[in-house]
Structure 1
């Protein structure tokens, strides 16, 4: 019973298992010539995902020129033997690579080999129609000539135009030579000499060397961002220093006299620091992706260098030493700018919180002043009410006595009361006292409620 296509399988089992085999190295055997391109997207403004569509169209155009069926659109890897050369195409997140390999029947002198590279087999119109920008163009000569290492290195001086070489014994059977310089033909050059490599080692070594060059260039893309960010960060820091000084001056003025004018100045400072926070946030959004990508690429560079298992050639710097001297400072600059952005953003956030706290304190003080004025007005109204209360007692008593007077006159008519005025006069103190007590009782009920 086969279960390879069984419904028992997870939907992603087969593609996930194949992922580890999706980018195999070329099977190379010296003497061999290799040309390599890494094509970056047209602009940094383009989303990284669009590189796949662009480069698939470029690959399809090359396949159409030679009458070969191109891979499917979702493919990330393609290999084909075109006869005169072999092609390995890989599509990555930000770039695509084209590696052309050509087997030679006999070993050519290194200088002659660099003038007979596989790129000469490609149609010129296809090269001119590449969708994207070339970030890496490299030639690799896989040589199997014998002889002493010192004599071979001496003969490479003319090939590398007298530049300082980096080289080493690698992978216990090979020698690697390069200067990491773009030569007059627009290609960087690598010479790998097979002095005892086992089967399939050459392909792995060439792939690692090309990955070192490609990832090195991709990592260095973060350096211009760091260099452009430095003046902007300096300007933001200077404005933040000026704002901090203004905050101290405002604090001194506010401690002397907390007024509405000090609150207005605090809010003006808050507006300025909010604009600074927006600027540093915009700068971080512009740079963080590139800095993070550079950090990931440089980790890959160091991993590939470790896989070379270099052994020093006396008097020649190794590839690892070359990278430590040239690449590491650039990456340190990117890391420093990324850390500086984060630290500055945190300082602005702290200043913003402090200023908002001070604005809140000013507003609370102003609210307290408003409440105090309202209390004073309420006290004044209470005093006026108490002053008018006596008049209210007199007025109410007057109307009540009036009612009693009409009642007494009616009683006199019926002969019930002999002297109405005397009775009314006797009632006045009692009515006034009753009205006053009634008002006091009503006030106590209102206050208790």
Structure 2
């Protein structure tokens, strides 16, 4: 496809251009009620979510989402529902305009059909209510806010250049929802939309980041045990001397390495996700531009005090596994080198022994060849002697003993040359066969 300039466009160009505007901030005005659900679905489940949203659209006679959609906004006269699909979770955010008798007395989620909510795909991970109210409609003193929050856990701050204040206690109410109260002093619609979106994302990513915390505590004992076993094996490595013991130690290190790799395979994705979600939480907190309200912690301070230790624990567990894997790998390589050197020494000794045996066999062979020449020459000379004495008796040989004596050099030379020829033929045939 080419644009108006005639230049061929990349097939993903429009997708990438639209991605920046795929999920814009809402334009919101006080008074407003918001309910937010985070459903943990794993990396699959899009089709079920689209079907469930389509069922609600059919009931309300609204056009359904596209089958490949990753987000969708359902607009009615009573509420607006925004569904967003993420990598391993989905969010459902309900917006209802209008004032309540008092904050959180009537929540936005009550506008949805009660029979539709239980069928949401996945498992509920996080849930929260946000109440955006004009400053003139509520008393913003710490004492009065005790009607909505637990005073000993209250956190709050002024945000968006002091255009609003945000209050929460990060505790679930009787229905399991966290509460955020946003008091609007001078927010415009876009500021209000950004502020509420960031609050929702802070809680969403906080819960996703904490998913690995129980896993980290569960695997802590296993990691400690493997570290202890590695220490024991390293102590043995410093004292072991026999090749058989080194092989046993290498086998034990290989088994330990396999266990560590299995632990990493089971936890690496979750620990890596925790680090990524933790970074997103801190970015959203920074984007709030909080200003302190005397007497209470800011949201950032609360997170640093309650969330940071849990995130650090998860990150630390991942780092411990990484370091443990590296230590086992180094120890195994060191021991493998020692075993290889020992085997090379054994092979060298074996080759030296074989060379000595070959040299001895060669000397024995040469000795046998010399004896063979003597023995064969003796028998050949004896045969020549018989022949000469026979010729002497019939008158053909004047002196048999002299003739026999004269034949000795000739016989010995002939036998030696003959044995040498036979040896060379055997060696040549063996070389050709090899």
Same fold (TM over 0.5): yes
Q: 1: CA distance between counterparts of 2:110 and 2:189? A: 28
Q: What SS does structure 2 have at the residue aligned with 1:90? A: strand
Q: What SS does structure 2 have at the residue aligned with 1:224? A: helix
Q: Is the 8 A contact 1:167 1:318 kept in 2?
A: yes
Q: Is the 8 A contact 1:219 1:295 kept in 2?
A: yes
Q: What SS does structure 2 have at the residue aligned with 1:157? A: helix
- Matched residues, number: 427
Question: Which segment drifts farther, 132-141 or 291-300?
Answer: 291-300
Give 1:278's aligned residue: 258
Give 1:259's aligned residue: none
Summarize deviations over 1:311-360 as a string: whole Å, max 9, x none.
Answer: 11112211111111111111111121111111110100011011111211
Summarize deviations over 1:201-249 as a string: whole Å, max 9, x none.
Answer: 1111111110111011111112122212211111111111121122223
Question: Which segment drifts farther, 186-195 or 230-239?
Answer: 230-239
Please give the residue correspondences for 1:108-187 in structure 2 after superposition, counting only pairs within 5 Å. Answer: 108-110=101-103, 114-146=104-136, 151=141, 153-172=142-161, 173-187=163-177
Q: 2: CA distance between counterparts of 1:68 and 1:199? A: 26
Question: How far is 1:166 from its partner?
Answer: 1.1
Summarize deviations over 1:39-82 as a string: whole Å, max 9, x none.
Answer: 002xxxxxx43132232233223223323232112111111212
Q: What SS does structure 1 have at the residue aligned with 2:153? A: coil
Please give the residue correspondences for 1:309-324 in structure 2 after superposition, counting only pairs within 5 Å. Answer: 309-324=289-304
Q: Is the 8 A contact 2:274 2:315 kept in 1?
A: no
Please give the residue correspondences for 1:174-323 in structure 2 after superposition, counting only pairs within 5 Å. Answer: 174-250=164-240, 254=241, 262-323=242-303
Give 1:40's aligned residue: 40
Give 1:99's aligned residue: 93
Give 1:62's aligned residue: 56
Q: Is the 8 A contact 1:51 1:95 kept in 2?
A: no
Q: Is the 8 A contact 1:26 1:88 kept in 2?
A: no
Q: What SS does structure 2 have at the residue aligned with 1:135? A: strand
Question: Which segment drifts farther, 184-193 or 4-13?
Answer: 4-13
Q: Are residues 108 and 201 of structure 1, via their aligned partners in 2, closer, same or farther at CA, if it must alter by over 3 Å?
A: farther
Summarize deviations over 1:97-126 as a string: whole Å, max 9, x none.
Answer: 10001011x45322xxx1311211222222
Q: What SS does structure 1 have at the residue aligned with 2:223? A: helix
Q: Give the root-mean-square deviation of aligned CA atoms.
A: 3.0
Please give the residue correspondences for 1:425-444 in structure 2 after superposition, counting only pairs within 5 Å. Answer: 425-429=405-409, 431-432=411-412, 435=415
Q: What SS does structure 1 have at the residue aligned with 2:237? A: helix
Give 1:49's aligned residue: 43
Q: What SS does structure 1 have at the residue aligned with 2:135? A: coil
Q: Are residues 163 and 133 of structure 1, via their aligned partners in 2, closer, same or farther at CA, if it must alter by over 3 Å?
A: farther
Q: Is the 8 A contact 1:222 1:291 kept in 2?
A: yes
- Alignment partner of 1:26 is 2:16: no
Give 1:44's aligned residue: none
Q: 1: CA distance between counterparts of 2:20 and 2:51? A: 25
Q: 2: CA distance between counterparts of 1:40 and 1:225? A: 16
Give 1:14's aligned residue: 14
Which ranges of structure 1 fall in alignment gaps of 5 or more residues? 42-47, 255-261
Q: Are residues 398 and 161 of structure 1, via their aligned partners in 2, closer, same or farther at CA, if it must alter by over 3 Å?
A: same
Question: Which segment drifts farther, 402-411 or 209-218?
Answer: 402-411
Q: What SS does structure 2 have at the residue aligned with 1:141? A: strand
- Match of residue 329, structure 2, among 349, 353, 361: 349
- Alignment partner of 1:366 is 2:355: no
Scaled by the length of structure 1, what TM-score is found?
0.86
Scaled by the length of structure 2, what TM-score is found?
0.89
